[in-house]
Amino acid sequence: MTDTLLNLASPDKLFIGGDWTAGTGAEQIAIISPASEEVVGRVAKATTADMDRAVAAARHAFDHGPWPRLSGAERAVYLRRIAAEMARRADDFARAWSLQVGMPYAQSAQVAPHMGGYFTYYAGLAEQGFEEVRQPLMGGHAIVVREPVGVVVAVVPWNAPLATLALKVAPALAAGCTVIAKPSPETPLEALILAECVAAAGVPEGVFSVLTADRDVSDHLIRQRAVDKVSFTGSTAAGLHIASVVSGRGGRITTELGGKSAAIVLEDADIATVVAGIMPNLVGLCGQQCAAFSRILVPRARKEDVAAALAAAMAHVAVGDPFAEATQMGPLVTGRQQERVLGYIERGKAEGARVITGGGRPAHLTKGWFVEPTLFAEATNSMTIAREEIFGPVGTIIAYDSEAEAIAIANDSDYGLSGGVFTPDADRAYALARRIRTGNFGHNGRVIDYTIPYGGFKLSGVGREGGVEGLHGFTEVKAIFMAQLPSHLSA
């Protein structure tokens, strides 16, 4: 059990305000391997009473503790310590991702050592300070300050649990907020490992908590008036519910939700570049990516060549045990998700799209929630597989007859999270990018970088994470008018 739960000292306890404490209930959350369908560990299951304790600790620490009143440079010291602890636990983080989600370990082991970089980056921004002097029209001075928004609840999904958690916790702590992390019940381990890193870094009491809980009690947490902001990444339906609840009581909200992103292949695109740029979106994390290029828009004259190249690449993807060295794609996260993806595939067939590779469960895998990399052709943008987020290793090729039509198809979506264009012409790529209503857009591939703002238009969410914008999302802006500047700003 110790090896399975990745050197966690107290997997049966909750981390509330800096202390490992028993929950008020006796139930636990079972962690099920998506590759074997077996229970591989258990963690504590928080109750509403435990949530109330965490909120009270965070509220007291924000209102009366030192954390919000430290300078940005002082908080940066702690963030760098957290990053150092995360580097020490990199293999635990990597194995947690592979164990719970099915991410191939060969890939998770490459990514995990860089996760502390989120905290180092925001430490650097915190060191720059939160004050700016401006000159009002009527004379004197105005000091525009950014102050921490308060108690933050960070609700994260199961597909990339550590990255989405770090993208919230690092800037929130840098800003001076106190934070309650609520991981998905499918993937609680990363948050618990992070809690041990925060404790080892000596972060003051009450500043950080982790509540491992089922969704049925989590609604209680977001409804607390003592919570100033909720930062949520997950499904559009859940995000809209959370936004209505939190905004309805005057709280702050950031949401990063679903996507149905279009990759626009222009007639001058190099096919090898297209395959290299699209494949990681379709099979990485078994396609469970909100920014996946799930709609592939291709000139009608080139659709057969592009389809053949992508189908060949998908057919050669090694699907299997996440801990096997040769594996390139693991399983979907749950049996429910497998059923959902297979259901979308059947819906695509019924509506007239043609499967040119994949379409079912790999024949050689009798256990685990696996689905073959699947590619549809002869599809239209009105089909369900082109309208709804599948969240699996499924791509849909849609033909177009002009660049204007491609732009119209790309924008004809309820979502606007990501997208891309494939062409060697940088001027043409930039001009096209400016016409797509989406928060992120790539040229000959997709890039997600925590130093650059990330988020969506339309139903893909509200606000931005990453970059300085991600830090500002955890602050309130105050303008202080002064006849004379205080001494620390007048030197």
Burial zone of 487 (CB within 10 Å; 0-12 exposed, 13-18 middle, 19+ buried): exposed
Nearest C-alpha neighbor of 178 from the set 67, 266, 87, 14: 67
Contact 473, 148 (CB under 8 A): no
| Dihedral over alpha carbons 314, 320, 322, 326 (to 10 degrees) | -70
Alpha-carbon span 321 to 298, nearest angstrom: 34
Residues with active-site annotation: 256, 290
DSSP label of 454: B
Other C-beta atoms closer than 10 Å to the C-beta of 323 total 16
CA distances from 127 to 130, 138, 163, 225, 490 (A): 9, 31, 22, 31, 19
Tokens encoding 353: 């799209």
Contact 297, 264 (CB under 8 A): yes
Nearest C-alpha neighbor of 190 from the set 169, 214, 205, 171: 169
Other C-beta atoms closer than 10 Å to the C-beta of 465 total 23
Nearest C-alpha neighbor of 343 from the set 315, 311, 379, 371: 371
Tokens encoding 387: 């309208």
Beta-sheet strands, E only, within 324-417: 354-357, 374-379, 394-400, 415-416
Alpha-carbon span 374 to 358, nearest angstrom: 4
Contacts of 99 (CB under 8 A, 6+ apart): 4, 6, 31, 33, 40, 189, 322
- 3-state secondary structure (DSSP) of residue 234: coil
Q: Following DSSP, what letter does each residue of 274-294 receive, concatenated? A: HHHHHHHHHHGGGG--TT---
Largest separation between any pair of C-alpha atoms in the chain:
76
Contact 282, 357 (CB under 8 A): no
